Every structure is written in structure tokens, then in C-alpha cells.
Chains A and B, each alone.
Chain A
Amino acid sequence: MQLQYFLLLAAALFCIGIYGLVTSRNAIRVLMSIELLLNSVNLNLMAFSNSLDPSAVKGQVFTVFVIAIAAAEAAVGLAIVLSIYRNRDTVDMEQFNLLKW
């Protein structure tokens, strides 16, 4: 098990997350894609922590923080989506373009 494989996996996951973030029309799926991104980051942190810093494991600590922040962000995000939905009766991302040109 080499470090590169973890990194490549994380990068792949990150790309999938970006793809989902850009292409999804549903706001919830956008939030989910962001979770995917954060998870790929976590994967990176864990891989580095294991292979480069097995004694101090600073990366694992960071990962814990990231998970915590991710949870908080998801809560706020969902709340925002909910409040938009209450106003506009939709969660279609294409509809939220009040600021176009």
C-alpha cells in the first residue's frame, strides 16, 4: 500500500466532487458534493499522517476538526437551502440567477 494510491484515490474523489458540485441542479446534491470534497481532503490528511508522520499523527487531529466543521457546514447549508426553498418553492440551482449580467 503506497501513499500515491491514497492520494490518487483522494484526487479522483475530489474530481468527482467538483463534477457533482458544478453539474448538479439540485441544491442538496450540491451540498452532498461538497461533503465528497471534504472527504477526499480527509483521505489526504489521513494518508499523509500515516505514511509521513506515524508518530505524532497531526493529520488525524486535523481530520477530526474537518469532520466537525463539515457537520456544522452541512447544518448551515441545509438551513440555507431550506430557507430558499420556503421563499421560491424550488431547489433548482438554475433558478437562483438574480445577479446575472
Chain B
Amino acid sequence: MAELLIQSAWLIPCYPLMGMVLSMLWFPSVTRLTGPRPAGYVNLIMTAIAFLHALLIFPAVWQQPAVTFRLHWLTVAGLDLTLPLEVSALTIGAILLITGINFLSQLYAVGYLEMDWGWARFFALLALFEGGMCGLALCDSLFFAYMILEILTLGTYLLIGFWFNQSLVVTGARDAFLTKRVGDLFLLMGVLAIYPLAGTWDFDGLAAWAQTSEVNPKLMTLVGLALVAGPMGKCAQFPLHLWLDEAMEGPFPSTILRNSVVVATGAWVLIKLQPVLALSPTVTTAVIAIGAVTALGASLISIAQIDIKRSLSYLASAYMGIVFMAVGAGQTQAALLLLLTYAIAVSAMIMSCGSIVLNSITQDLTQLGGLWSRRPVSGLSYAIGALGLVAVPPLGGFWALLKLVDGLREDSPTVAIILLVVNDLVAFSVVRVFCLIFGNQAKQMAQRSPENLWPVTLPMVVVAALTLHLPLVLQSLNLLPNWAQLDKTAALLLTWSSLAGMAIAAVVYLGPVEKPVRLPWKPLQDLLAYDFYTPKIYRSSVVGSVDIVSRLVDWGDRYIVDGLVNLVGIASIFGGETLKYGNTGKTQFYALTIAVGLTVLIVLSAWSILSNLKLVVFG
């Protein structure tokens, strides 16, 4: 039975894709009378099947060697494109995480999108994401991973653009597509450049090649940087991070999925490419630098936001930055553990925020407050998610970050210190959001705020419970470090950094400091609140130059290329219009032309005779 289930693991991405196709039946243009709700139910069932399938496989592959299949796709002259699938504890674990969170966010969407008619489109896109991500987890080839990433980029565009009659949604979807696409295109360059070097696209093959290869370091640096650029865009790393901020215009349930899992797809590819990236010290340094800058910058920006969703979206960038740092430092195990704990904790937080926004309407943190007594379940879920995110023992985030700091301490203490600072800032940010929503007096928008109906609350509670149980689960899987070998200093430092951040935030936002809090230097506050003015930077650098160049090219096409062709036509017309005056209508002129023509012809044809002619007149 288990064997059969493992052999059919390739079906897991197919269930949600089937759900995607089925939900199209409930498009408002297809099913005109009975409403779109069955689309959601069908997708829930499909996701549940996928989850159960993965769950049944998991014990069978746990601590077993990976089973691989090869699905033949196509062979063209010298290039064999075969899709390798790997069924291992890691990939099935990732699929469990993906389908689990997807199931919960779909259930959440059933409650959240109660008043929305666009279920068919929404659930079809969620299913596309789920199928894509399961496929990405299973597939063991850089080439096919790239293909799936591109499909997911398209999915992001469509999902952010769900409510497309809002203008900010349209610009946000545009930016998300283009920014991620730029990264993907660089990734494609890397993917194409690595084939002649390694001769394979399989991640295993690449890792094996990286063990023994002796490539020109400069070449490897360039290829490595291109390979990093794809995950950089996917994970919303500086400077390709603006899209995640604007992607917050999409519906909340998709935000849960995106912030917890979709941004992690880039990190997944990055982790799998780590052996290749490690070939070039420049690339690993660049990865660490990108991650560090993003983690610091995004956590600072997150503190200065007044929009709930955006404050959390920058945390996604910050945590992906931490993953980048981990991959750059070679700590792939810690990075994977961090992805797991982050995904679960952050979805608890986002579900709680969505639950608040659903019936407090505003997303403005300055308009909320005092919800703790009325919204205890949401408040607890948020608090648990926040504690699970930052390093507070014994919850999950602590172990992941501890593992990371532990691994970094000897090789790169600077990175470890940055990590502590980021943890401190993130702790400040999450507690600030908590205090602004649940602490203090209720503002007008939050005067009457009941808890939500069960499809919104249940997944939130389940995820919060998962966050609480994660350490137990990890322990039972022997993924936690032994307490005896543990680095107590690092553990204490991490705990203190998060406690310090939390305490400062609590004092500032619950204490006597005047609200809204003003920094002594206003330009700095504005700089952080406006995300380092990234839209302006984009517009003045890349967008501006591409705009100017395209206008120039358009002008050149209109006036120079078209002009040259039109000039031929105009010249012909002008020639006809002017040369017709040669027809004077006078017979004598015709006679003259005949005479001249004949003379010229005669002179030309008899030139050899005429030039030798010696006219002797006299003597």
C-alpha cells in the first residue's frame, strides 16, 4: 500500500490542478444561477486529498533514501529533457506544509470571501499555486523548477489582480509580475549558462558536479549571481522587494498563502542550489549581504508602517533575508527549519490580522486598538504566531534561529550579530502591531468588533495550535538539537534580543509615550515609512531609463525607419508629379527629344569610330 502511494506521489500536484479545472465550472459566466460556492468546496476536498496522500506517504519515506522517478518529457537533438521527481522526507514534508497551509487558507477564504462572487477564479488560482508549489517541491531539476516558478509568477499576477476594478490592485499586480519576471529572466540566464558547465540540470547532479568542478571563478561568479537573482525577486529581497508591499492589495486569504509559502519557493530553489553557489566565495558573500541588508532594512521598514498587512509583508522580506544569510553561510538545514517555523507562525499572525480587518474594515493601525477584551481568540493567535516567529523558547522560531546562530558563530560572527539585531527589530515590530491592535483604548473603527464566524476562526486557531505544537513535532522527529550540546550563550543572547525588542515595544506603545509616536528626526521616520522611497528609486532608475529608451526607439521607428520607407514612396510620387511636365504637348519638343536621343545613341554606339576619326580639312 505504502509502495503504491509512493509510486503515485506524482499525483499530488495533480489533485489541486484538477480542482483548478473543476472550479472553472462555477465562473459567473458559466453557472449563471446557483452561485460560485461549490468551487471552494471542490478545492477544499482536492486539497484535503493531496494532504492525506502526502500524510500517508510521510511515514514510509521518513529516514529512508529518496525514491526518484524520471518522467520523460522530450528529447531533441542532444538535449534530453526528463523531469526527475524526488520523493523524500524533505519533499513530502514540504508538500505537507504547502497543502496544509493551503487547506487552512482555503477554509479561511470560505469565511473571508463570504460576500464575494469571484470564488471560482479565486479558488482556481489558489489551486494553481498549490499545484505549482507541490510540483516545485517534488521536481528535482533546475530547469523544471524554473518553469514552475514562471507559472507561479503568472499566478501571482492573476491572484493579486483579483479585484481588478481597483486601480491600486492593477498597478500592484503589474509591479509584482514585472519585478518577479526580471528576477526569473536572470535566473533563466543562469539556468542556460550552467548546462554547458555541468551538463545536467538535476539538483543532485549539480551538487555532485560542484564537488569536483574546477571552473573559472569569474565565470562561476557571474552564473552564481544570475542564479541568485531569481530567488531574489521571488523572495522579495532588496532591491526587488517593492512588489510584496504592493501585493498586499490582493485578498487576505491569498496573502496568507503568499507570505507564508509562495515567497519561500525562491528560498527553496536557493537552498537546492547552495552547493553550486558555494563554488564562488563572491556569490556567497553577495547572498549574505543581500540577506543582511534586506533583513535589517525590511524589519526597520516594518516598524514604521501603519498598515497591518504591509507591516507583516516586510517581515516576510526580512525572514527571507535571514534564509538568504543562512544559505550564504552554508546553513541549509537551518534555512529549511526556519522556512517551516516561519511559514506556520506567520500564517497564524496573518490569519489573525485578516480576522481583525474583516470586521473592523480599516487596515490602519492608528485607527485600531483595545481589541484584546473583545477579540481574545484573534489576539491569542496573533500572540502565539508572534512568539513562534521571533526567538522565544520553546517555540519553533527559536530553534531555527538558534541552529542558525550556532552554525554562524565560528565562521561569520558578524552575520550572527546581524541576526540578533534583526531578531530584536522583528520582535519590536510584531509587538508594536499587537499593542496597536489589541492594546490601549479602542478607537472609533474598533468600537464594536465581534469575533468572526467559524471558517475564519477555526483555521486561525488550528495554525496557532500548530505553532504551539511545532516544537513537540520537531522533537518527535529528532530535529531539535540536544540540550546538552546546546550553545547556552547563543540561546540566551537570542532570547534576550527578542525579549528586549518586545519589552521596548510594549513600553513604548502601552506606556506613557505620546501617540502617534514620533521619532526625534522626522525625515528618518518618513524614509522608513515610505520604504526608502523605493517607488521613486525604481521610477528614476530602471523604469525611467526604460521609458526614455522606449520613447526614443518608438520615435526612431516612427520617424526614421518609417520615414525612410515613406521617403521612397514620396520620392516616387514627387518624381511622377514633376517628370510629367516633360510631356509639354508640343510636337517640336518631342522632335527635339527624338533628335537629342538619337544623337546621343549614335555618339555612344559609334564612339570608337568617332574618336578615331581624323578630319582633314585642308590637305
Contact = CB atoms under 8 A, between A and B. Distances in A.
Interface string A51-80: 000000000000000000000000000000
B591 A99 contact: no
Given A18-B595, A22-B592, A22-B595, A101 B587 contact: no
Given A93-B586, A94-B586, A96-B586, A101 B591 contact: no
Contact of B591 (A22, A94, A98, A100): A22
A30 to B, nearest CB: 7
Nearest to B584: A100
B580 A101 contact: yes
A93 B580 contact: no
B5 to A, nearest CB: 91
A18 B595 CA distance: 8
Interface in A85-101: 93-94, 96-101
Contact of B585 (A22, A23, A98): A98
B588 A93 contact: yes
A4 B619 CA distance: 13
A64 B44 CA distance: 117
B73 interface: no
A13 interface: no
Interface in B565-619: 580-581, 583-589, 591-592, 595, 615
A96 B583 contact: no
B504 to A, nearest CB: 94
Nearest to B615: A4
A25 to B, nearest CB: 9
Interface residues of B, number: 13
A49 B89 CA distance: 119
A8 to B, nearest CB: 8
B587 A100 contact: no
B586 A97 contact: yes
A99 B580 CA distance: 12
Given A18-B595, A22-B595, A97 B588 contact: no
A98 B532 CA distance: 81
B586 to A, nearest CB: 5
B588 A30 contact: yes
B585 A101 contact: yes
Interface string B545-580: 000000000000000000000000000000000001
Given A18-B595, A22-B595, A101 B581 contact: yes
A21 interface: yes
Nearest to A34: B591
A92 to B, nearest CB: 11
B585 A93 contact: no
Contacts of A100: 583-586
B585 A97 contact: yes
Contacts of A24: 588
Interface in B73-88: none
Given A18-B595, A22-B595, A99 B588 contact: no
A20 to B, nearest CB: 10
Contacts of B595: 18, 22
Contact of B588 (A4, A21, A98): A21
Contacts of B580: 101
Contacts of A22: 588-589, 591-592, 595
Interface string A5-29: 0000000000000100111100000
A99 B592 contact: no
A70 B585 CA distance: 26
A96 B587 CA distance: 8
A99 B589 CA distance: 12
A100 B32 CA distance: 74
Contacts of A97: 584-586
Interface-central residue, A23, A98, A99, by most chain B CB under 10 Å:
A99
Contacts of A94: 586
Interface in A22-48: 22-24, 30
A98 B215 CA distance: 86
Contacts of A4: 615
Nearest to B582: A101
Nearest to B616: A4
Interface of B: 580-581, 583-589, 591-592, 595, 615
12 contacts: A18-B591, A18-B595, A21-B588, A21-B591, A22-B595, A97-B584, A98-B585, A99-B583, A100-B583, A100-B584, A100-B586, A101-B580
Interface of A: 4, 18, 21-24, 30, 93-94, 96-101
What 7 A-B pairs have minimum CB-CB distances, sorted nearest first? A100-B585, A97-B585, A99-B585, A22-B592, A101-B580, A101-B583, A97-B586
